[in-house]
Chain A
Amino acid sequence: MTRNRTSAPRWGLRVVVLAYLMFLLVLPVVVILYRTFQHGLSPVFDALTTSDAQHAYKITAIVAVSAVVLNTVFGVAAAILLVRHRFPGRRILDAVIDLPIAVSPVVVGLALTLVYGRNTAVGSWFGRHGINIIFSLPGMVIATSFVALPLVVRAVGPVLEEIGEEQEQAAATLGASAFQRFTRITLPSIRGALAYGVVLSLARSLGEFGAVAVVSGRLLGKTETVPLYVLDLYNNFNQTGAYAASTSLVLVAVAALVASRFLRPRGAMT
């Protein structure tokens, strides 16, 4: 059936789909690349090396890496728990892990503010101990963790299930302790999927906007990440800067796409 001559309906489908993708995906990226580089490289370079820009990159890196580390530890632990153990409430846990996919980032930000904000019981307790959560890095890390929460679990889970438990049991009969089984058998077996999950999380974390916009307070030069900085520049009619920063994030996204394509487990999607 595939080898049918290319028929009229098939051409129709191609034209419609390609036009749709062209206008929705390809052209916007082409236009922003063009706008960014239309006056050469130096304005771009200048825009990305201002102290505010540098600071935004630094904050973004700190927040994203922290959130990814947390989510990686959580993700592996949760995946093992869900795949390898049977316990009451397992299905609920499984469902709750997906919750962040369906919750609006702004709602996430608001919810965190209501618990950890300065005027709340929890927030003021931390405040008395010199730790600010909201309008500060810890809150941004928690918010980012929230939105990227399911990625590692869902990347690792199926692979963990597929490799089964026998290798771990074999290691146990050979004398390996639970820790040795984890580091020598389980972790190496899931490393591909784990790397994939980490790339997904990193891409999501670097780009998080809504939740971080709420919990950071968007304090320029203090809690502003690159995505927030883009909006600031745009609102202040600094288009060169906004386009340059956007393009830097586009490049990161493309890198993540390419990396994920290589890491994709069993990824015969061609």
Chain B
Amino acid sequence: MSIKVAGVSKNFGDFAALTDVSVDIPSGSLTALLGPSGGGKSTLLRVIAGLEQPDSGVVQIDGVDATVLPPQRRGVGFVFQHYAAFKHMTVERNVAFGLSIRHKPKAEIRERVRELLELVHLEQFAHRYPSQLSGGQRQRMALARALAVEPKVLLLDEPFGALDAQVRKELRAWLRRLHDKVHVTTVFVTHDQEEAMEVADEIVVMADGVVKQVGSPDELYERPSSDFVMSFLGPVTRIGGELVRPHDIELFDEPEAGARPATVSRVTRLGFEVRVDLDIDGEEAWAQVTRGTAEHLALEQGKQIFIRPQHTRTSVAASSAPRSTS
């Protein structure tokens, strides 16, 4: 069940939330819409769900033009950042909602709800109300509720944004496993690059209402098409005007070919990794090395060393234009 978005624009008053956005999301994939807040990714997701009407452009779901369909007829499952739990219903009735309004037989509903609660590990909470659940449990309930109607596509808007760090990590891994099991085409919005890299097959980077780049996590990390994408997807530092990943900087205590002198201005140990702040002819930069390297070079404040970036960002084939995936 693929999703195709073509030439979609959406304005809120003077604010251009989306400008001529085109994205293809292949059937069965797990795609992240990644970008800074206000970049248009949530709006794009809501346009796909039918919760917003685009000013122009087309949305196709499973090959069918859905642009003017109301949300209830698009066959999408939508999970909200703040859960949108039906507060007056038990967990069980929340999950059953989509089925009960379709007037499915009671027994079938009961069976399906039981399955889903098992899937999201909430069996023993069936008769509780949302207010009696933790944030993570509520979000799993919301997910089960969205899956109950067997949506063609599953859309998640910052699904873990309101949860604390530990729960967020757990749910991420769990979402990945769930997707491997259920295989429904899934799109989730996040502003957390780590989350996108860890969970998604494919990442759509968005900012200022436009798509900046589309690709697999590795492609984006290795071959970012712009400084923006590079700095958004991971730590960067600047050496001689070029962006470099701090872990792609080699450190030597003797001059080497292509290496330039630098002064260590500070050494910070962060467990296994060591952050080395550098002064290169008055410019500040930093490198990330292993503890072993740091000890081997006997790095300390004020020490003169030589550094050599391994690869700086080079323009690659992956352009900001959306890829055709079908």
Q: Assess whether B212 is interfacial by the CB under 8 Å rule.
A: no
Nearest chain-A residue to B75 (Cβ)?
A175
Q: Is the CB of B87 within 8 A of A173?
A: no
Q: A169-B51, A169-B71, A170-B78 are in contact. Are A175 and B102 (CB under 8 A)?
A: yes
Asked whether, in the complex, the Cβ of A166 is within 8 Å of the Cβ of B80, the reply is: yes
Is residue A65 within 8 Å, beta carbon to beta carbon, of the partner chain? Answer: no
Closest Cβ neighbor of B51 among chain A residues: A169
Stretch at the interface among A90-98, A176-184, A194-202, A257-265: A176-184
Size of interface on A: residues with Cβ below 8 Å to B:
17
Q: Is A171 part of the contact surface with B, judged by Cβ < 8 Å?
A: yes
Chain B stretch 67-117: residues in CB contact (< 8 A) with chain A: 70-74, 76-78, 80, 82, 84-88, 97-98, 101-102
Contact call B84/A166, Cβ cutoff below 8 A: yes
B88 to chain A: closest residue by CB: A188
For B274, the chain A residues whose CB sits under 8 A away are none
The verdict on A189 contacting chain B, using a C-beta distance below 8 Å, is yes
Which one, B51, B82, B142, B148, contacts A172 given CB within 8 A? B51
Q: How many A-B residue pairs have CB under 8 A?
A: 65
Q: How far is the CA of A173 from the CA of B77 in the complex (A)?
A: 6
Are A167 and B87 closer than 8 Å at their CB atoms?
yes
Contacting pair A166 B82 (CB below 8 A): yes
Q: Indicate if A185 sits at the interface (CB-CB under 8 A).
A: yes
Docked-complex contact B72 and A173, CB < 8 angstroms = yes
For chain B, the count of residues having a C-beta within 8 Å of the partner chain is 28
Does B146 reach chain A (CB closer than 8 Å)?
A: yes
The answer to whether the Cβ of B149 comes within 8 Å of any Cβ in the partner chain is yes
How far, in whole Å, are A177 and B102 apart by their CA atoms in the complex? 10
The answer to whether A170 and B84 touch (CB under 8 A), given A175-B102, A176-B101, A184-B101, is yes
- Chain B contacts for A102, CB-based, 8 A: none
Given contacts A166-B82, A169-B78, A170-B78, contact A176 B87 (CB under 8 A): no
Question: Apart from A163-B87, A172-B72, A174-B97, what are 5 other A-B pairs with CB-CB below 8 Å?
Answer: A166-B80, A174-B146, A175-B102, A176-B98, A189-B87
Residues in B lying within 8 Å of A, measured CB to CB: 49-51, 70-74, 76-78, 80, 82, 84-88, 97-98, 101-102, 142, 145-146, 148-149, 155
A residues within 8 Å of B by Cβ? 163, 166-167, 169-177, 180, 184-185, 188-189
25 contacts across the A-B interface (CB closer than 8 A)? A163-B87, A166-B80, A166-B82, A169-B84, A170-B86, A172-B50, A173-B49, A173-B51, A173-B72, A173-B76, A173-B78, A174-B72, A174-B77, A174-B97, A174-B98, A175-B72, A175-B73, A175-B101, A175-B149, A176-B101, A177-B101, A184-B97, A185-B86, A188-B88, A189-B87
